[in-house]
Amino acid sequence: MWLIILVIFPLIALVLSITQGHASAQQSSTSYLDRRVEIWGLFYRGMVAAFVVGALVQGSIIYVAWRFRESNKKNKPPTSIEGAHH
């Protein structure tokens, strides 16, 4: 379920935004594109995607480090006394 939310939806949104941008750019031949504006727009989109991916990766690293830390009681293997029934 999380795979769909974290991977599939952003890819669909990216494809739709690219195709919508190409379709709107071909509507009128009288308007000219300012390449600097388009380049900065692409750079901004790329940076937003990079920050989102970076935040997800760092969040997962922090979760794994916190969950499997050495002082976590759930992470310690049971001793022979804890696992035996009396």
Asked whether residue 45 is domain-assigned, the answer is yes
Q: In order along the chain (86 residues), what is the average pLDDT of each group of 10 residues?
A: 65 68 54 81 93 96 89 74 58
pTM value? 0.48
Domain count, the chain: 1
Asked whether residue 63 is domain-assigned, the answer is yes
Predicted pLDDT at 85: 60
Q: Are 25 and 33 in contact (CB under 8 A)?
A: yes
Asked whether residue 79 is domain-assigned, the answer is no
Asked whether residue 46 is domain-assigned, the answer is yes
Query: What domain range is 53 assigned to?
Result: 34-69
Predicted pLDDT at 12: 73
Asked whether residue 62 is domain-assigned, the answer is yes
Predicted pLDDT at 83: 54
Predicted pLDDT at 67: 86
Asked whether residue 56 is domain-assigned, the answer is yes
Predicted pLDDT at 1: 63
Asked whether residue 52 is domain-assigned, the answer is yes
